[in-house]
Amino acid sequence: MKRLAISAALALSSAAFAAGGTLVYGSGGQPVSLESGNITDGNSIIVQRQIYDTLVDFADGSTKAIPGLATRWTSNKDATEWTFTLRKNVKFHDGTPFNADAVIFNVNRWWDPKFEHGYRDSGKTYEIWGQLMGGYKGEAAGFLKSVTKVNDYSVKFTLTSPVTVFPDLIGSGYFGIASPTAIKAQGAKYGTPASKPVGTGPFTFDSWKTGDRIVVKANPSYWDAKAQVDEVVFRFITDRNQRLNELRAGTIDFTSDLDPQAAKSMKNDAKVDAVLKPSFNVGFISLNVRNEYLKNAKVRQAISMAFDKKAIVEEFWGDIGVSNASFLPPVLSWANSKKVPADYKYDPAAAKKLLAEAGYPNGFSLDFWYMPVSRPYFPSPKDIAEAVAAELSGIGIKVNLKTKDWAQYLQDRNTAPYFDIYMIGWTGDYGDPDNFYSAYYGPSASDDSGYNPKDLADLLEQGKAAKGQSAKAKIYAKIHEITYNAYVRIPVVHSQPLAGKAKYVKGWVPSPLGSEAFNKITIDGKK
């Protein structure tokens, strides 16, 4: 018995010894702002996730909604009224209580252009609210009609149209709940380095040295799993090679968004592990149906068959890319149609035949635009474009490879005369197929392809209103079939963003949604 007690005490003391320390994250840059709801960049969101909680959270490493600051949520039959039951006995880091008033205050800040604590006159835009919720208060396109307090721990959202995915939307990492007291006290500067952001999250804000680092400390009274380290330092290291160097030199403990090629050097390093984040993106080639050749579906089909996607993905992504015929990343594959083949067929001979049938036996020439920057879905756009171009020339399509500055690229793809063919992609915000499809198909989509049939737009609307995964799956299967046969957006890859960590970093489960709390991470054995 005595021995047992001693070993238990030893175990306890070693556990106490293991906990604590400083965890250093190599961030891809300085956050734009630590004000929730006002930005979308990943460097901001990852820090915000440590300070703030959202009403709805997501299970580790998945897009499955689980209770966050709300313990449960229910809707009426047609999904136009959503009632969230809030967690009791939760306090903001400044000691003020979390309750229905706090939720309504935050929502009004994002939603209501006239809300006095929104500080829009200081240039704050809350753009992401408009994008995910259709628009702002007073705008016809916005689907939030009202937000009301049922009691101190219950809030009701009334919508103008059915939105079955509303919990995922309000739970997305953008909408962390901040302390109304702190916001009122700090005014327009809230979220800048000169402010002190206050949430209910696992870490409390400590300091922000402009251009250099942010430090957050463990929140000792966190309502959920308490942090295993004393503090997390976010160092801003914009160059991805430099982040790898820092990781290998041991000056940071973990980092994200590394060059896919870095996987090899990490493999040969005994001190670090490569970490593959779950894929939640799509990189694709977009064809413009306004073009005199591309308006012919046979030509588009020929292009889809002319290049060997599998070989290209193997070459440029190695193990960290998946090639298939879906616009949706693998975690949403439940929404794919079983009638659609696993991937587009690679058959240059048949492609050439199709071109001849379309009336172009000798081919033609097109401009092919590749992006000037690396994105998680296209890490080396130029090389990939060259590979595709070489294959297209094989069936007689002469491709003029072009690129331009990223800002101009984004602008010109949507402006006449538009790009003939170009590379682009999407990283999801929340775990619903609509988040992917509606970005590039339907009435609110990008205007680059000139392809917007009514039946597809109707199906997209039905998808938004459908309740339950099986009802949604049926609708999105049809959407998958239509888009597959349209040959307008040809998915090339779903990549797994490459991250890295020191071997002693344990318990890090990256989220497909891009931000996860660091409270379960331990650094046992860090020297």
Partner 1 sequence: MTAYILRRLFRMLTVLIGVTIVVFGFVRLIPGDPAVVMLGERANPQVVEAFRERLGLNKPIFINVQNPMDTQFFRFAGQLSKGDLGAGIKSQIPVSDELKARFPATVELSIGALIFALVIGLPAGIIAALNRNKPLDNVAMTVSLIGVSMPVFWLGLILVYLFAVTLPWLPPSGRMDPSINFDSITGMNVLDSLLRGRMDGFLSGIQHLILPSIALGTIPMAIIARITRSSMLEVLSQDYVRTATAKGLNHRTVVLKHALRNAMLPVVTVIGLQVGLLLGGAILTETIFSWPGIGSWLAQGIFERDYPVIQGGIIFGALVISVVNLLVDVSYAYLDPRIHYS
Rule CB under 8 A: which residues touch partner 1?
Answer: 22, 24, 29, 32-33, 39-40, 120, 122-125, 127, 130-131, 188-189, 191-194, 207, 209-213, 215, 233, 235-239, 241-242, 245-246, 248-251, 404-411, 414-415, 424-427, 439, 444-447
Q: What does the alpha-carbon distance between residue 324 and residue 305 come to, in Å, rounded to a whole number?
A: 13
> Which residues make Cβ contacts (< 8 Å) with residue 116, sequence separation at least 6?
none
β pairing state of 397-402 and 364-369: parallel
- Of the two residues 33 and 80, which places its CB atom closer to partner 1 in the complex? 33
Q: What is the dihedral of CA 409, 410, 412, 416, to 10 degrees?
A: 150
Task: Match 């588009």 to its residue by tokens.
Answer: 300
DSSP letters, 112-159, are -TT-TTS-GGGT---HHHHHHHSS-TT-TT--EEEEEEEETTEEEEEE
- Of the two residues 447 and 455, which places its CB atom closer to partner 1 in the complex? 447
Least distance (Å) between residue 245 CB and partner 1: 4
- Of the two residues 130 and 348, which places its CB atom closer to partner 1 in the complex? 130
- Of the two residues 18 and 188, which places its CB atom closer to partner 1 in the complex? 188
- Of the two residues 74 and 241, which places its CB atom closer to partner 1 in the complex? 241
- Of the two residues 230 and 357, which places its CB atom closer to partner 1 in the complex? 230
- Residue 148, strand partner residues: 156
**Contact (CB, 8 A) for 92 and 198:** yes
Least distance (Å) between residue 312 CB and partner 1: 21
Least distance (Å) between residue 488 CB and partner 1: 16
Element (DSSP H or E) covering residue 282 = strand 281-287
Q: What does the alpha-carbon distance between residue 369 and residue 305 come to, in Å, rounded to a whole number?
A: 19
Least distance (Å) between residue 424 CB and partner 1: 6
Give the burial string for 311-327 (b: 16+ CB within 10 Å, else e): ebbeebbeebbbbbbbb
Q: What does the alpha-carbon distance between residue 357 and residue 467 come to, in Å, rounded to a whole number?
A: 44
**Contact (CB, 8 A) for 98 and 26:** no
Count how many residues are written for the chain: 527
- Of the two residues 170 and 237, which places its CB atom closer to partner 1 in the complex? 237
Least distance (Å) between residue 32 CB and partner 1: 5
Residue 442 tokens read as 């339907």
Q: What does the alpha-carbon distance between residue 171 and residue 192 come to, in Å, rounded to a whole number?
A: 23
Least distance (Å) between residue 204 CB and partner 1: 16
Least distance (Å) between residue 252 CB and partner 1: 8
- Of the two residues 103 and 439, which places its CB atom closer to partner 1 in the complex? 439
- Of the two residues 73 and 409, which places its CB atom closer to partner 1 in the complex? 409
Nearest to 25 by CA among 295, 349, 253: 253
Q: What does the alpha-carbon distance between residue 339 and residue 245 come to, in Å, rounded to a whole number?
A: 46
Least distance (Å) between residue 113 CB and partner 1: 9
> Which residues make Cβ contacts (< 8 Å) with residue 415, sequence separation at least 6?
none
Least distance (Å) between residue 213 CB and partner 1: 6
**Contact (CB, 8 A) for 444 and 461:** no
Q: What does the alpha-carbon distance between residue 450 and residue 256 come to, in Å, rounded to a whole number?
A: 36
Maximum CA extent, the chain: 90
- Residue 287, strand partner residues: 421
Task: Match 């919508």 to its residue by tokens.
Answer: 159
Least distance (Å) between residue 38 CB and partner 1: 8
Q: What does the alpha-carbon distance between residue 310 and residue 168 come to, in Å, rounded to a whole number?
A: 33
- Of the two residues 98 and 451, which places its CB atom closer to partner 1 in the complex? 451
- Of the two residues 266 and 299, which places its CB atom closer to partner 1 in the complex? 266
Least distance (Å) between residue 341 CB and partner 1: 27
- Of the two residues 73 and 126, which places its CB atom closer to partner 1 in the complex? 126
The 8-class DSSP code of residue 78 comes to T
Least distance (Å) between residue 427 CB and partner 1: 8
